Amino acid sequence: MSRTALLVTHTGRRDSTEHARTVAGDLIEAGFTVRVVADEAGDLGLPGVVPVAGPAAAEGAELVFALGGDGTLLRAAELARPAKVPLLGINLGRVGFLAEAEIGDLDAAVRHAVAREYTVEERLTVDVTVAHHGAIVAESWALNEASVEKGARERMLEVRVDVDGRPLSRYGCDGVICATPTGSTAYAFSAGGPVVWPGVEALLLVPISAHALFSRALVTAPSSTITVIVDPHAPAAVLFCDGRRVFDVPPAGVVTVRRGRLPVRVAQLRPRPFTDRLVAKFALPVAGWRANSHDSPEPHDTQASPRLS
């Protein structure tokens, strides 16, 4: 039986295109049918690949390979999620928190994928709706975060936030982030939110530059519903889902965020503590300020990202 993979990359970058050609060639040689997004097929210039388009591009595939930074992985997740296909990210960008492997592990990652030597974990997502006067005007979802932000740079956003149907607080702010544990190291982190291990099931609420006595980031239950209500006398707001899908939120608009119906399935090539990933991605100083002193103890483990074999 033929095996199929979808390949998503950032063809605007020359190195990404070259690496994508290598991966596609290796997969074809291993007997895979390789699909590529139709808009990227011409830039890849690879014979034997199958251009696909539309939300069903990953249907029936065994894996979705995403080569690039977190933006490319988020784009690939849009195709992998509805098809319930595992996403394998290979980081060609800077941080790449969503990626399972780095560029130096490219060949090994493909070998493990071909040999089916990987496990699959499910990442919690959020479903988002925008309502106005009781009518749903927009629906979307997010893997990292849904953020409601001010639509006018010179004006403050005025909102009330409810949790589980009960009023929590009013904020004059730049915005409010509703994030998943996966997104806790992204936008929510830069706004002062906590880092949450991906295995924790929870939703995060992080106000952005709030003028309020109580403006702490909150961690709610995964079953919680978070509602952001734009003041009817305030300017319109903007909803961003993973920074990719954008929707206008009118005054008196109601943005509701709850646990997503579908998770994103992520392929893992090798069990790896999240602590090691955190140390490697953020370059945390585990050795301490006395690392060069003769009398300082050896750190327990400074190798945060061992190579794949």
Residue 90 and residue 146 in one domain: no
pLDDT above 90 covers what percent of the chain?
Answer: 67
CATH number of the domain enclosing 53: 3.40.50.10330
Beta pairing partners, 179: 145, 204
From CA 103, how far away is CA 305, in angstroms rounded? 12
Question: Average pLDDT in the 263-282 region?
Answer: 90
Q: What is the dihedral of CA 284, 290, 294, 300, to 10 degrees?
A: -40
Question: Does residue 272 belong to any structural domain of this protein?
Answer: no
Question: Average pLDDT in the 267-288 region?
Answer: 87
Of all helices (H) and strands (E), which one includes residue 175? strand 175-179
The number of angstroms, rounded, from the C-alpha of 42 to the middle of its chain's C-alpha atoms is: 27
Residue 201 and residue 172 in one domain: yes
CATH number of the domain enclosing 130: 2.60.200.30
User: Is-catalytic flag, 295?
Assistant: no
Question: Average pLDDT in the 37-58 region?
Answer: 86
**Residue 21 or residue 305, greater confidence:** 21
Residue 239 and residue 148 in one domain: yes
DSSP-derived letter for residue 21 is H
pLDDT band at residue 306 under the 50/70/90 scheme: low
Question: Does residue 287 belong to any structural domain of this protein?
Answer: no
Question: Average pLDDT in the 155-179 region?
Answer: 96
Residue 69 and residue 192 in one domain: no
Question: Does residue 255 belong to any structural domain of this protein?
Answer: yes
Helices (H), 179-305: 187-190, 274-282
Question: Does residue 157 belong to any structural domain of this protein?
Answer: yes
Does the structure show a pLDDT above 80 at 296? Answer: no
Residue 113 and residue 202 in one domain: no
Over the chain, what is the mean pLDDT?
89
Question: Does residue 197 belong to any structural domain of this protein?
Answer: yes
**Residue 54 or residue 180, greater confidence:** 180
Radius of gyration of the chain from its Cα atoms, rounded to whole angstroms: 21
**Residue 89 or residue 289, greater confidence:** 89
This prediction has a pTM of: 0.89
The encoded tokens of residue 258 equal: 């709850």
Angle, CA of 88, 125 and 275, to the nearest 5°: 60
Of all helices (H) and strands (E), which one includes residue 177? strand 175-179
3-state SS, residue 89? strand
| Tens-place pLDDT, residues 222-256 | 999 999 999 999 889 999 999 999 999 999 999 99
Residue 110 and residue 130 in one domain: no
Residue 77 and residue 24 in one domain: yes
Report pLDDT for 302. Answer: 42
Domain containing 172 equals 126-259
Question: Does residue 268 belong to any structural domain of this protein?
Answer: no
**C-alpha dist (Å) from residue 75 to 78, 282, 297:** 5, 23, 44
DSSP-derived letter for residue 211 is B
Given 15, 26, 70, 174, which residue is catalytic? 70
Chain length of the chain: 309
Report pLDDT for 303. Answer: 45
pLDDT band at residue 272 under the 50/70/90 scheme: confident
Number of Cα atoms under 13 Å in the Cβ half of residue 140 = 21
The encoded tokens of residue 2 equal: 């033929």
Does the structure show a pLDDT above 90 at 187? Answer: yes
Of all helices (H) and strands (E), which one includes residue 108? helix 106-114
Report the domain count for the chain: 2
The encoded tokens of residue 259 equal: 């646990």
Residue 132 and residue 254 in one domain: yes
Report pLDDT for 307. Answer: 60
From CA 106, how far away is CA 91, in angstroms rounded? 9
From CA 70, how far away is CA 73, in angstroms rounded? 5
Q: Which of 117, 143, 172 is the last residue of a domain?
A: 117
Question: Does residue 107 belong to any structural domain of this protein?
Answer: yes
**Residue 281 backbone dihedrals phi, psi, to 5 degrees:** -70, -35
User: Quick one: which of 181, 183, 96, 174 has its CA closest to 145?
Assistant: 183
Residue 130 and residue 254 in one domain: yes
Among 220-224, 233-237, 272-276, 298-302, which stretch is predicted with the lowest mean pLDDT? 298-302
Beta pairing partners, 241: 146, 245
Report pLDDT for 297. Answer: 46
Number of Cα atoms under 13 Å in the Cβ half of residue 156 = 12
Residue 153 and residue 241 in one domain: yes
